[in-house]
């Protein structure tokens, strides 16, 4: 177990080192850590003005969202099917230690989240240590339960079913967290601790029971492979020049299954547009990248208070979004061998211009819509944007 743990650390270190050379460390990472240290130290002496009107429920919601991060690690490998499965005691010991390490690691992350928010909890909201400790215990127990649920979700092969179950779980866990918040706010400690103990004990029991089954080995290997390559996928996602193939288990596409015509007017330009729309909407990485850029920019504009920073971010967003859409068009249409002879066609450039402009306008409208929604939400809680 220790050998595989160290091996995993070294692998992730190699991935990070591949992009974070000495120049990145010197000019980006080290200054960022230094700046955050000074900012965090200033929070203890003086609460920032942008936090003075923030209700605690928003921080509670943030902690709830952070609780969804984390998976059960078993550190199983593909070769274990041949060797370790014949030695069940050794194999079971590996899984138990991996699960124990997962719980400890996620507990440390939850503690770190509370440590970052501690200046606000103590000096802004004036909570005592009993209130903070009770919330900490609940979120650790909730994370234990969510780790088990996410472990079970890996066994679901259909992406649509997995999405539906994830949304339902998110809503149900959200309702439970609202109940916990109400009990915590009025000071009913015993039912709160009781719920936390029940969630943690039942989750640990069910997790160990599920890990004992040899039939789950393939799913555990799949989880380990995804977690191992998570940082690599993140690097790929941030590099638009690298193609990100999407592997799906569907036998039919979710959209345009019958591949019907979108436009009644069958022109060459409309054919290019139709081909792009179908490929774009069927590819999760393209759609998610489009939405993520909008959401991240919205959050940045809302959370950063100076007006000149908001204008700068919005201006940069206009350039980046136009460039990103152009890159996606060239990737979908320009790299297709069937399209090589049409790259100099006037209809091709007309279709490209139309698609880029439409997606560009939609991106701007969605950004403004999200921003207006954020303003409404903030004004309801008496905050300034």
pLDDT tens profile 190-234: 889 999 999 999 999 999 898 888 777 777 777 777 766 665 555
What radius of gyration, in Å, describes the C-alpha atoms of the chain?
Answer: 25
Q: What is the mean pLDDT of the chain?
A: 79
The least confident of 66-80, 139-153, 194-208, 352-366 is 66-80
Share of the chain above pLDDT 70, in %: 75
**The pLDDT of residue 145 is above 90:** yes
For 86-124, give one letter per residue: b (16+ CB within 10 A) or e.
eeeeebeebbebbbebbbeebbeebeebbeebebbbeeb
Query: Can you tell me whether residue 352 is helix, strand or coil?
Result: helix
The larger pLDDT score, comparing residue 135 to residue 94, is at 135
Residues 76/221, Cβ–Cβ less than 8 Å: yes
Per-residue confidence (pLDDT) for residue 90, from 0 to 100: 75
Q: Residue 141's pLDDT band (boundaries 50, 70, 90)?
A: very high
Q: What is the pTM of this model?
A: 0.64
pLDDT at 142: 94
| Long-range contacts at 157-162 (CB < 8 A, ≥ 24 apart) | 157/249, 158/249, 158/250, 159/248, 159/249, 159/250, 159/254, 160/254
Compare 254 and 92 and report the one with higher pLDDT: 92
Lowest mean pLDDT among 210-219, 234-243, 366-375: 234-243
Least-confidence region, from 117-131, 141-155, 171-185, 215-229:
215-229
Whether the CB-CB separation of 276 and 358 falls below 8 Å is answered with no
Is 173 in contact with 142 (CB distance < 8 Å)? yes
The stretch 171-182 carries a mean pLDDT of 90
Higher pLDDT, 16 or 54: 54
Q: What is the mean pLDDT of residues 167-176?
A: 90
Please give the Cα distance from 135 to 118 (Å, whole number): 12
Taking 50 as the threshold, does the pLDDT of residue 240 lie above it? no
Q: Is residue 66's pLDDT more than 80?
A: yes
Q: Which residues, in sequence order, are CB contacts of 99 under 8 Å at separation 6+?
A: 72, 73, 74, 207, 208, 211
Distance CA 319, CA 33 (A): 29
Please choose, from the candidates 118, 149, 150, the residue with its C-alpha nearest in 3D space to the C-alpha of residue 135: 118
pLDDT of residue 284: 73
Q: Are 360 and 325 in contact (CB under 8 A)?
A: yes
**For residue 369, what pLDDT band results from cuts at 50, 70 and 90?**
confident
**Mean pLDDT, residues 357-361 taken together:** 91
pLDDT over 80 (residue 83): no
More confident residue, 369 or 232: 369
CA-closest candidate to residue 352, choices 251, 270, 243: 270
Buried b (16+ CB within 10 A) or exposed e, 61-71: eebbeebbebb
Q: Which of 66-70, 113-117, 179-183, 295-299 has the lowest mean pLDDT?
A: 295-299
Q: What is the pLDDT of residue 281?
A: 83
Name the range with the highest mean pLDDT among 23-27, 38-42, 104-108, 209-213: 104-108
The answer to whether 63 and 135 have CB atoms below 8 angstroms apart is yes
Asked whether the beta carbons of 124 and 47 are under 8 A apart, the reply is: yes
């Amino acid at each position: 177990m220790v050998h595989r743990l160290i091996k995993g650390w070294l692998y992730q270190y190699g991935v990070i080192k591949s992009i974070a050379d000495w120049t990145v460390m010197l000019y980006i990472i080290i200054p960022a850590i230094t700046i955050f240290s000074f900012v965090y130290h200033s929070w203890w002496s003086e609460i920032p003005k942008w936090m003075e009107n923030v209700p605690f429920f928003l921080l509670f919601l943030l902690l709830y969202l952070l609780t969804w991060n984390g998976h059960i690690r078993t550190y199983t490998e593909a070769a274990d099917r041949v060797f370790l499965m014949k030695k069940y005691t050794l194999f079971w010991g590996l899984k138990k230690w991996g699960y124990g390490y997962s719980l400890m690691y996620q507990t440390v992350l939850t503690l770190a989240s509370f440590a970052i928010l501690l200046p606000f909890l103590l000096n802004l909201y004036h909570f005592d240590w009993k209130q903070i400790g009770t919330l900490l215990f609940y979120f650790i127990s909730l994370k234990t339960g969510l780790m088990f649920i996410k472990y079970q979700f890996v066994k679901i092969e259909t992406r649509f079913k997995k999405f539906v179950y994830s949304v339902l779980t998110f809503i149900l866990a959200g309702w439970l967290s609202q109940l916990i918040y109400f009990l915590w706010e009025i000071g009913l400690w015993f039912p709160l601790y009781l719920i936390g103990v029940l969630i943690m004990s039942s989750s640990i029991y069910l997790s160990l029971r599920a890990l004992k089954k040899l039939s789950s080995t393939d799913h555990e290997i799949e989880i380990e492979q995804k977690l191992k390559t998570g940082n690599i996928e993140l690097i790929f996602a941030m590099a638009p020049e690298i193609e990100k193939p999407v592997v799906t288990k569907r036998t039919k596409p979710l959209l345009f299954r019958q591949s019907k015509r979108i436009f009644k007017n069958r022109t060459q330009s409309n054919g290019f547009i139709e081909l792009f729309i179908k490929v774009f909407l069927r590819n999760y990485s393209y759609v998610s990248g489009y939405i993520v850029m909008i959401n991240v920019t919205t959050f940045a504009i809302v959370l950063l208070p100076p007006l000149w920073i908001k204008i700068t971010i919005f201006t940069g967003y206009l350039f980046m979004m136009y460039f990103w859409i152009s890159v996606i068009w060239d990737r979908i249409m320009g790299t297709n061998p069937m399209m090589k002879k049409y790259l100099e066609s006037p209809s091709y450039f007309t279709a490209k211009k139309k698609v880029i402009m439409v997606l560009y306008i939609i991106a701007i409208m969605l950004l403004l819509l999200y921003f207006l929604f954020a303003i409404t939400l903030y004004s309801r809680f008496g905050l300034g944007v």
